[in-house]
């Protein structure tokens, strides 16, 4: 009797995992195939692809082979941030609460 219960439990868990995996595979992306390919080519050119099992990107392992990465943003002073916020408030571009 115990082996039947164990087999039934294993079968139920297997089916659950299969259904969950199938449901996850059905998620759709908003990117087109061309956009994904372009992103991949850009990552390859910049060395942003992971290399083996090291957990490091290619440009981290061999920085001499890839162009230097530019900073994503510039540091702003608090006065600049406050001025930008006032402009956005005046233009009605601020969001309040959890509305999107």
pLDDT band (50, 70, 90) for residue 26: low
The DSSP bridge pattern shows strands 50-51 and 56-57 to be antiparallel
Higher pLDDT, 30 or 96: 30
**Tens digit of each residue's pLDDT (9 = 90 or more) over 52-88:** 888 888 888 888 888 776 555 567 788 888 888 888 8
Question: What residue segments make up the domains of the chain, in order of their start?
Answer: 30-65
pTM: 0.41
Q: Tell me: pLDDT of 35 over 80.
A: yes
Cβ neighbors of 65 (< 8 A, separation 6 or more) are: 47, 58, 59
């Amino acid at each position: 009797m115990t082996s039947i219960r164990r087999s039934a439990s294993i079968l139920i868990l297997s089916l659950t995992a299969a259904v969950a995996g199938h449901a996850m595979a059905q998620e759709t992306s908003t990117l087109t195939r061309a956009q994904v390919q372009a992103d991949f080519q850009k990552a390859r050119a910049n060395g942003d692809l992971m290399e083996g099992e090291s957990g490091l990107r290619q440009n981290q392992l061999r920085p001499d082979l890839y162009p230097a990465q530019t900073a994503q943003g510039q540091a702003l002073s608090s006065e600049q941030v406050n001025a930008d916020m006032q402009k956005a408030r005046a233009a009605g571009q601020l969001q309040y609460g959890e509305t999107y």
